[in-house]
Structure 1
Amino acid sequence: MSIATNGNGRCAVVTGASSGIGEASARALAADGWHVVVAARRRERLEALAADIGGTAVELDVTDDVSVAALAQQLDRVDLLVNNAGGAKGLEPLAETDIADWQWMFDTNVLGTVRVTQVLLPLLEAAPDNSGLIINMGSVAGWDVYAGGSAYNAAKHGVRVISRALRIENHNVRVTELDPGRVATEEFSLNRFRGDAQRAAAVYDGELNLSAEDIAEAVRWVAAQPAHVNIDVMTLKPRTQA
């Protein structure tokens, strides 16, 4: 099966696209003329989004090799990959963390990024004029460790390593590491606090926060740069977050 792209042929794949930064990025890219393949686990949300932006919905679990391989089999062209699927669980001190949470965070944030990158890299390498681009969604948590964040800090450090390794090893595909600071995305916090809405909301209450659309605009801008330009790292924080 081959996914039809828009008139200029440019195709972007956005993982974790069913909500938050992924959804906002898909909308921003579509508005900029990309055909966007929105990929995530929640198919109903994806289909609604794809219908809204003129894109294509593909159900995807980045922790599953078969699911990732199936994504690649549906594509014959990819110019841009936004590795956005990820998340955090828990905010306990390291000594009290659940190893299962560590495993989920590494499998989703780190190995999920590797899986999708590996299967789509040949298509990205084939993009016209060496214009292939990968945007890895990192975090300021990958630079600065904070109390209760050990597993997520370690996972986002892993995303940094992946981005740097790709930059060193492959000069036919551009790689950008995008590192947001505090972004008010409800589902991220709900997942972290296991559905505790009050605790999730408290993270953002009384703070100046970025929105998912702020990060999406950075994704759109990076993707709009000419093929000879590589934005290595971009960090975005609200004004009050030092």
Structure 2
Amino acid sequence: MIPPPPPPPPKQVEKEDAFRKKLLEKFGNFEGSTTDEIEKKLKKSEDIDETCFSEADGTGVLENQPLDTSNCTQCERCQKWIKNESYQHHLICHSTRILDWLYLGAAINSENEVELDKRTNVTYILNAAAECQNYYPQKYQYLKLHLMDTIGETILNHFDEAYEFLEKCRKEGKCALVHCQLGKSRSATIVIMYLMKHLGMNLREAFKYTKEKRYIVNPNIGFIRQMIQFDEQLYGKRSITAHEINPLCSVEFD
């Protein structure tokens, strides 16, 4: 007599992940085929310390000054005391000041009114991500670019519009935030190309400058190729090759 098959193992209950849940809620307004894109963005977002999301509500990572600040640094932006080992992660919770009036950041910065109004005085917001919404359309001036962080995306075709928007902000003496989901690929590419055209930097100079300000900057290979093309258009030659940019991006190029 053949013994009956063993019972199936008990189904494991997935632990609720508030960080994941909040990200998925953010993608709720994205129209189109979202499954692969959401999972990809979610994985990238998890590379950043999830405590950053407490800053999305303007509350900061540490609510009170710790009794012992010997192993802490006070954040110049939000005045919170942050443990030294977490300080670099914390800085990425905030938008990064690229120029006196120009900030590069993530979606969490675009919904943080405390950050926008009190800490950076932003009134112009360039949203470079298809999946990110404009949170306060009645309050700030927006430019929405429906860009995906994919190799085939033609970000160069949208640059003239982005440049004019940022120039309008600068000439009015206002402050602008350029953001995508994480502030590392789409929005970083826009900012780098803006520095090239506005300040006369070549790609090597603009990329290095932006990377030093915001260490997670890492445009995808398609955007890198378009920035090299833009470098040639502006100056008639390449200032850097994809192979030379490779160590700065911390990714492998074909």
Normalised TM-score (structure 1): 0.29
Q: Which has the higher contact order (CA 8 A, sep 6+)?
A: 1
Q: TM-score, normalised by structure 2?
A: 0.28
